[in-house]
Amino acid sequence: MKVKTFLQYKHQQQAYKIFKSYPNLFTKAELKILREDLKTGDNKSHFKFVAVDKEQVVGFISLATCYATDYSWQVNWLAVHPDFQRLGVGRLLINFLFQKAKKLGLKRLFVETCSCQGEKPARLFYQKHGFKKIARLPDFYARKHSKVIYLKNIVE
């Protein structure tokens, strides 16, 4: 398995399908934004990485500035193929992203999650990788679906 930084058209399509396979986690509106994000190449404020196993994309992650600030960055999108869960694909991707963050000289990273049951694996995943819960916006996405924000300080 390897991480690729340049997304060919087929990678974009395969990555999109992974997110689409979680209809309870990603809304149609989010998928629309993702489709546009995937089409655009990397630029100085948005980087995308895919994990590829035997020519097949099995995971996707991206790193971007928060709401067009230059100062704060976030893990923007993350998903691993349902058949490849818990095999270390997410770990491979986030460690790659941490390396990129260090190269960019970033000091901290944010990530936004939902408090819902479906995102429990994601929340545990981020905690395992050093993210600390810093805020909770109650009933943000829907009733009882709060936004939970995590922060990780990048150490040299």
> Rounded to the nearest whole angstrom, what is the least distance from the CB of residue 152 to ligand COA in the complex?
14
40, 18 contact by CB (below 8 A) = no
The single residue among 87, 116, 151, 154 that binds ligand COA, judged by CB under 6 A, is 87
Which amino acid is residue 127, in one-letter code? Q
Q: Can you name the residues that pair with 51 across neighbouring β-strands? A: 3, 59
Verify binding: residue 85, ligand COA, rule CB under 6 A.
yes
Q: Please identify the residue of the shown chain whose CB is closest to the bound ligand COA.
A: 90
Q: How many other CB atoms sit within 10 Å of the CB of residue 148?
A: 20
Segment near ligand COA (CB under 6 A); pick from 33-41, 62-70, 85-93, 102-110: 85-93
Binding mask 29-68 for ligand COA (x = CB under 6 A): ----------------------------------------
Q: How many other CB atoms sit within 10 Å of the CB of residue 109?
A: 24
**Secondary structure of the chain: what % helix, strand, coil (to 5)?**
35, 35, 25
Residues near ligand COA, by CB under 6 A: 22, 25, 78-80, 85-91, 113, 119, 121-122, 124-125, 128
